[in-house]
A and B are shown apart, each in its own frame.
Chain A
Amino acid sequence: MPKRIVSGIQNIGHRVIESVWRLGVASRFFMLVLFKSGTSVRRFNLVIRELYFTGVLSLIIIVVSGLFVGMVLGLQGYETLQKYGSESAVGTLVALSLVRELGPVVAALLFASRAGSAITAEIGLMKATEQLSAMSMMAVDPVARVVAPRFWSGVISMPLLAAIFSVMGVFGGYLVTVVFIGVDEGSFWSQMQDSVDFRFDIMNGFIKSCYFGVAVTAIAVFEGYDAPPTAEGVSGATTRTVVTSSLAILGLDFILTAFMFRGVS
């Protein structure tokens, strides 16, 4: 029995050491990517190409999800608020929840599963088929040429996608409550504008989505670059990207919210 306990503790220790070590490797890789980003700035075409894959191709899922999330928020908010006779505050409810939380977080979760996994799979496959080795044998640094442009495209497109998500959500809420249910249009917008603050709500949401963009793409490129060069290796890395970045988004969201809205109602 004590033997089993000892081996259990050993197991825990092993996992902790393993994950701390991996975190270290990932941070070093992240620094390397930042350090080698000069090529992405000088040859911005490389980033534009990747923006198409990370940004433009994520648009549909972001627009549709944003619209539906906003419509549901409008419907649920109306149901609850009308009990207190304050259904005109539904605009405030929809806008604040979207701009502060749901926009950045849900858009980032969608982004992680749409673009993050694609980045991991692509880099992992390039590694498995020796394309990265071939590149480095051609005296071209794969981190600068392949990884950095993908990283920056993610960092750029994430806040834009989050903003599009929020706008679509507000529009969805407007559709349901004002157009379908018939809440007064004027009070919908004016109450919203009264309580949504540029500095505290919109800027903070924007900053959040920037952090999420960095986190998701950093995880995605690392998992891809680090993947064992086999089919199972790549598929495992893709799954890990989605899981790890979703957890990272939610964890970061809590930390950032705690910092941003501390002391403010």
Chain B
Amino acid sequence: MTSENLIEISGLNFSYGTRAILKGIDMTMQRGKVIAIMGGSGSGKTTLLRLIGGVIEPTSGYVKFAGQVVHELERDALFKLRRKMGMLFQFGALFTDLSVFDNVAFQMREHTNLPESMIRDLVLMKLHAVGLRGAHHLMPNQLSGGMARRVALARSIALDPMLIMYDEPFTGLDPISLSVIGNLIRRLTDALGMTSIVVTHDVQESLKIVDYVYFIADGVIAAEGTPHEVRKSVAPFVHQFVHGEEDGPVPFHYPAQSYQKDLNLENTRA
């Protein structure tokens, strides 16, 4: 076993055309931990998840998952690898034409030859874990946002993956659903011995449940540490982010020429 690290990221670069999104990211993620990746909107967090899942290929550097370099895998090997990963999309991304039950059963039916009776038991177990066993017959459009997120969570743990990636799991939830999802992430990670990566900008909620935090800004890791360290950090960027201050290293104003110039004040005076 190559140490306790499930994921090793080294020198990762990615750019869309000439626009660099990620510039040299190094990370390690240990088994059984919940890791948060934070950063402002558009800082490349979701891109990082897509790189880990092998949806896109890095410009340079690599992502190693369980000892395998993701972007060097053949299609079949990549698909095999993805069965060990789960992903929770921002709004759940449930299949709208399938019932809750069939959504959770989807991967089991696609990837295994389990008898229908066993699939039924497994699905009900997964749904029970997220507290929605009673909703198995509903269609996705009958669910509230928080419930849909929980069903999606049950779906992503259907094949007991080693890793689950959460893309903005807290967006648009009421406070109750928010802490329900947060606690579920922690509990499931511990109970199933998985690793979880939570991409979020919900600082307060995620600091309660995670083991380690990375801050990404402008494509590089701006800061990292345990929640305790992060809360105490005096680094200006982290301080601004954690406390939600309006101005700081991340400026309030988009770069522009001087305000006076834009309003033609200099001209009129001249």
Contact = CB atoms under 8 A, between A and B. Distances in A.
- A–B touch (CB < 8 A): the answer is yes
Interface of A: 122, 125-126, 129-131, 133-141, 145
A136 B78 CA distance: 11
Contacts of B94: 131
Nearest to A53: B97
Given A126-B96, A131-B94, A131-B96, A136 B55 contact: yes
Contacts of A133: 55, 89, 93
A144 to B, nearest CB: 10
A130 B83 contact: no
Nearest to B111: A139
B95 A138 contact: no
B90 interface: yes
Interface residues of B, number: 22
A134 B82 contact: no
Contact of B91 (A125, A129, A139, A145): A129
Contact of A137 (B55, B90, B95): B55
A38 to B, nearest CB: 14
13 contacts: A129-B91, A129-B93, A130-B90, A131-B93, A133-B93, A134-B89, A137-B53, A138-B82, A138-B110, A139-B79, A139-B82, A140-B107, A140-B110
Contacts of A145: 110
B93 A130 contact: yes
B90 A131 contact: no
B169 to A, nearest CB: 13
Majority SS of interface residues in chain A?
A: helix
A135 to B, nearest CB: 8
Contacts of B231: none
A136 B107 CA distance: 11
Contact of A130 (B80, B91, B111): B91
6 tightest CB-CB pairs across the interface, nearest first?
Answer: A130-B93, A134-B93, A139-B82, A139-B79, A137-B87, A130-B89
Contact of B95 (A131, A136, A141): A131
B258 to A, nearest CB: 34
Interface string B84-107: 011101110111110000000011
Nearest to A140: B110
Contacts of B111: 139-140
Contacts of A130: 89-91, 93
Contacts of A139: 79-80, 82-83, 107, 110-111
Contacts of A135: 95
Interface in B129-153: 152
A145 B82 CA distance: 16
A145 B106 CA distance: 11
Given A131-B96, A139-B83, 13 more contacts: A130-B89, A130-B91, A130-B93, A133-B93, A134-B87, A134-B95, A137-B85, A137-B86, A137-B87, A138-B110, A139-B107, A140-B106, A141-B79
A246 to B, nearest CB: 27
A83 to B, nearest CB: 55
A138 B97 CA distance: 17
A226 to B, nearest CB: 17
A145 B85 CA distance: 19
A126 B93 CA distance: 8
Contacts of A140: 106-107, 110-111
Contacts of B110: 138-140, 145
Contacts of B107: 138-140
A21 to B, nearest CB: 16
A111 B14 CA distance: 44
Contacts of A137: 53, 55, 82, 85-87
A129 B96 CA distance: 9
A198 B110 CA distance: 45
Question: In this complex, which of A125, A131, A137 has the most chain B Cβ atoms within 10 angstroms of its Cβ?
Answer: A137
A139 B87 CA distance: 11
Contacts of B55: 133, 136-137
Contacts of B80: 139
Contacts of B86: 137-138
B104 to A, nearest CB: 11
Contacts of A125: 96
Contacts of A131: 93-96
Interface in B52-93: 53, 55, 79-80, 82-83, 85-87, 89-91, 93
A64 to B, nearest CB: 27
A134 B104 CA distance: 12
